[in-house]
Amino acid sequence: MNAFDFALQMELDGEKYYRHLAEKAKYEDLKKVLEGLADDEQRHYQIIQLAQSQNFKHIAPDPSLSRIQNVFVSSSKSIHPDNQEVIAKLKDEQLDVYREALIKEKESVALYRQLQEKAQNQDEKEIFGKLMEEEEKHVDVLDTIIELLNHTSDWVESAEFNHTKPY
């Protein structure tokens, strides 16, 4: 498996992961975010294919990549789209879905950073660096959504609405 094959599979798995969660989403806003993430993963896939076909055909297979598990492959600690019990619970807690997606995106960033550091040529470093930047954008978006959702339960404090006695 070469760097492109690994990255292509990870982006494809990410797209499937987000599309499956979007199908199960109860809330329309959550569904739109998950579909947007899936669309981005599909766009990343297309970018990798384009790069592979144009400039970087000479990247040799790296046997160590076949031993690395991408972040969208199920593990016992994560939400997996096929786990119906978890999906049922998440229908009521969209914040949990956003948090799980944030974890996956942070894991993607860390994995691409690790692969970039271990890359054996400049082309691989560039591809993994670009993918890392794209996943960091997802982290920023999800962080913002989570922060906004957390603020909905915060009390708005203003002198106009403050009914506490002065000291």
Torsion sign (Cα): 116, 122, 128, 130: positive
Pairwise CA distance, residues 64 & 134, whole Å: 24
Pairwise CA distance, residues 74 & 82, whole Å: 9
Q: pLDDT by residue for the chain (167 residues), tens digit each? A: 777 888 899 999 999 999 999 998 888 888 899 999 999 999 999 888 888 777 555 444 544 445 555 656 654 444 455 555 554 454 447 888 899 999 999 999 998 999 899 888 888 888 889 899 999 999 999 999 888 887 766 655 655 656 666 65
- pLDDT recorded at residue 38: 93
For the beta carbon of residue 38, count every other beta carbon within 10 angstroms: 19
For the beta carbon of residue 86, count every other beta carbon within 10 angstroms: 16
Q: What is the DSSP string of 19-36?
A: HHHHHH-SSHHHHHHHHH
Pairwise CA distance, residues 106 & 88, whole Å: 24
- pLDDT recorded at residue 3: 78
- Letter string b/e over residues 40-75, b meaning 16 or more CB atoms within 10 A of that residue's CB: bbbebbebbeebbeeebeebeebeebeeeebbbeee
